[in-house]
Amino acid sequence: MPMQPYLFFTNTCREAMTRYQEILGGELSVMTVADMPEGEEPPPGEPNPDLVIHAALSLDDGSLLMASDDPTGDATGVVGMAISLDFDREDRTREVFDALAEDGEVGMPLEATFWAPLFGMCTDRFGVQWMIAVEGEPPAS
């Protein structure tokens, strides 16, 4: 049974998911209130045809990252959670980490740890926390 993270944003879902597609690749689909079938009830809150009611980023490895804008405008979400990504190449690990950390905050720079050859943590400019690592044996002590 695969786990599929679902993120909530406050009017930045399209921007965030587009950025994640630029960084990670894959295919992005976005549905807004304006895309809803006629006669369907829009989400609660202020009417906004650009509000993203569902976005899905399908990655080449079969992973799926989903998201939407919180119609209440209060996408405070879960505290103490991060999305973890593991890569098989150090250069790709650094590239993704740097891109996600851009205009965000680095909690732990990419460095060798006792559990991974390279590991780092950051919070992106949209407030999503990430843990990025390269797969493989940790360096010898």
- Report the chain (141 residues): mean pLDDT per 10 consecutive residues: 88 96 98 91 82 96 94 70 94 98 97 95 96 87 65
Q: Residue 49 in contact with residue 32, Cβ under 8 Å?
A: yes
pLDDT at residue 77, rounded to an integer: 60
In a domain, 24, yes or no: yes
Q: Is residue 74 included in any domain, yes or no?
A: no
If asked whether residues 99 and 64 sit together in one domain, one would say no
Please give the tally of structural domains in the chain.
Answer: 2
Residue range(s) defining the domain that contains residue 36:
6-69
Burial of 65 (0-12, 13-18, 19+ CB in 10 A): buried
Residue 95: give its domain's CATH number.
Answer: 3.10.180.10
Q: Strand pairing partners for 122?
A: 106, 130
Instruction: Give me 63's structure tokens.
Output: 């992973």
Beta bridge partners of 31: 54
pLDDT of residue 78: 60
Check whether residue 10 and residue 65 sit in a common domain: yes
Say if 117 falls within a structural domain: yes
Question: Quick count: other Cβ atoms within 10 Å of Cβ 94?
Answer: 16
44 occurs within a structural domain:
yes
Per-residue pLDDT reduced to its tens digit, 48-71 = 899 999 999 999 999 999 999 987
Residues 64 and 95 in one domain: no
65 and 87, same domain (yes or no): no
User: In angstroms, rounded to a whole number, what is the distance separating the alpha carbons of residues 8 and 55?
Assistant: 10
Question: Are residues 59 and 22 part of one domain?
Answer: yes
- On whether both 50 and 10 belong to a single domain, the answer is yes
**Is 76 a domain residue?**
no
**Single-letter amino acid code for the residue at 11:** N
pLDDT number for residue 29:
98
